[in-house]
Amino acid sequence: MKILIINGPNLNMLGIREPEIYGKQDYHALEAYCREACRELGESVTGGIDCEIYQSNHEGDLVDRIQQAYFDGTDGIVINPAAYTHTSVAIMDALKAVSIPAVEVHLSNIDSREEFRHISYAGKACVRSFMGYGFEGYKKAIAFLTGQYGDLPS
- Rounded Cα gap, residues 34 and 30, in angstroms: 6
- What is the sign of the dihedral through the CA atoms of 116, 77, 144 and 125? positive
Residues near 10 by Cβ (< 8 Å), separated by ≥ 6?
17, 57, 82, 83
Active site residues: 22, 106
Based on the number of CB atoms within 10 Å of its own CB, is 154 exposed (0-12), middle (13-18) or buried (19 or more)?
exposed
